[in-house]
Structure 1
Amino acid sequence: MRVVGEIPHPDCKITLFAWNNRYLIKFEQGFLEQTFKIHEYDVTSEADLQALVDETFIHETLTRFEAMGASLRNRLNAIG
């Protein structure tokens, strides 16, 4: 797996990878992570990959992190 870039953001870490004929967009926030896999033929360049990760995409991902965190907390409370 090769790191092809990072996108700075104050609320999460965003790393772009190339691996196995795919690009991966990995978001990390605390103990949670989300990874999006894109076939290398679906974008024409690594620059297109960075353009894909716009503010709307990031906002949607951060909203999903909130839901993931709530889900995990609820399950942990249910067993504890």
Structure 2
Amino acid sequence: MRFVKEIENDYCKTQLYSFNNKYIIKFEAGMYEQIYKVSELEISGEDEIDEMLGDSFYKGVVKRFQEMEEEFEKIIDSID
């Protein structure tokens, strides 16, 4: 897997990788990660990924991070 670049934004750590003719977009927030894969054939290049990742998409990513954290906390609480 080849690191392509860090994608600057106000929401979370975002990195772009390239592997097996796919772009891999990795979002990180604390202990949680989300990964999206996009075929290199579906888009014109790295710049189009920057355009795809608008505020509304990032807000959805942040919401999923919050949901992930809530679900994980429920699991941890059930162990106690």
Q: TM-score, normalised by structure 1?
A: 0.93
Residue aligning to 1:71? 71
Give the share of equivalent positions with the same residue, in percent.
32
Q: How many residues align?
A: 80
- Closer, same or farther: CA 48–11 of 1 in aligned 2, 3 Å: closer
Cα offset, 1:54, TM superposition: 1.1
1:3-62, CA deviations, whole angstroms, 9 ceiling, x for partnerless residues?
Answer: 222112344100011111100110000000000011111111111111111111111000
Q: TM-score, normalised by structure 2?
A: 0.93
Residue aligning to 2:24? 24
Q: CA RMSD in A?
A: 1.0
After TM superposition, which residue ranges in structure 1, 4 or more long, deviate above 3 angstroms? none
Tell me if the contact between 2:11 and 2:58 (Cα under 8 Å) persists in the aligned partners: no
